[in-house]
């Protein structure tokens, strides 16, 4: 088990499209362990493998409330097969865009087809926070970030802020 460093904007790998998993083998199981450890430690409610530099379509999520017991969920090769016309707005953040939050509008409910940690093919209909989180993480697998859903002005401002921070760090 190992916590792994989380890639931060403007890291170019975050824009890479991840590859489907063909088999849930020991490598994938080890990746899941690392992802949960990294996500809980951050702390965050969702993580895509590409955020720790692994371009595979693997997502970990836990949207349990703080006082409730942990409810880890694994989504391998997740795919949105249906989305509601109804939309909801959530204030979103991202472990790869630290301390930056903006309201994002997305479908309120989605049906997602995926494989669980045991390699079983499943489907879930999600609403509320889980629906938003699933869409946010599936975006990561396609190289998209939540700032892509904002106005161009806001997006460019965010990218500029993080690019400057990265330059400062490199200069130090
Ligand atoms: Zn994110």
pLDDT tens digits, 77-92:
999 999 999 999 999 9
| Pairwise CA distance, residues 172 & 169, whole Å | 5
3-state SS of 114-154?
A: EECCCCCEEEEEECHHHHHHHHHHHHHHCCCCHHHHCCHHH
pLDDT tens digits, 39-76:
999 999 999 999 999 999 999 999 999 899 999 999 99
Share of the chain above pLDDT 70, in %: 99
The one-character DSSP state at 109 is -
| Pairwise CA distance, residues 88 & 10, whole Å | 28
The count of other CB atoms within 10 Å of the CB of residue 155 is 16
Domain boundaries along the sequence of the chain? 12-171
* Ion ligand 1, residues whose Cβ is below 5 A away: 94
The model carries a pTM of 0.96
Our answer to whether residue 125 is catalytic in this structure is no
Which of these CATH numbers, 3.90.45.10, 3.30.70.3000, 3.20.20.70, 3.50.50.60, describes 12-171?
A: 3.90.45.10
Q: Please tell me which residue in 91, 137, 169, 172 is annotated as part of the active site.
A: 137
Q: How far is the CA of 94 from the centre of ligand 1 (A)?
A: 4
Q: How far is the CA of 135 from the centre of ligand 1 (A)?
A: 10
Share of the chain above pLDDT 90, in %: 93
């Amino acid at each position: 088990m190992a916590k792994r460093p989380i890639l931060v904007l403007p890291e170019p790998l975050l824009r890479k499209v991840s590859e489907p998993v063909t088999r849930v083998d020991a490598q994938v199981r080890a990746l899941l362990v690392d992802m949960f450890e990294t996500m809980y430690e951050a702390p965050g409610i969702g993580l895509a493998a590409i955020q720790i530099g692994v371009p595979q379509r693997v997502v970990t999520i836990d949207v349990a409330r703080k006082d409730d017991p942990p409810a880890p969920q694994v989504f391998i090769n997740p795919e949105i097969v249906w989305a509601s016309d109804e939309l909801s707005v959530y204030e979103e953040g991202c472990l790869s865009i630290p301390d930056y939050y903006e309201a994002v509008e997305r479908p309120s409910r989605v049906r997602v087809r995926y494989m669980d940690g045991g390699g079983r093919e499943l489907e879930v209909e999600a609403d509320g926070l889980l629906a938003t989180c699933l869409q946010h993480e599936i975006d990561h697998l396609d190289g998209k970030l939540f700032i892509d859903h904002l106005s161009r002005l806001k997006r460019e401002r965010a990218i500029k802020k993080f690019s400057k921070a990265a330059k400062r760090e490199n200069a130090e």
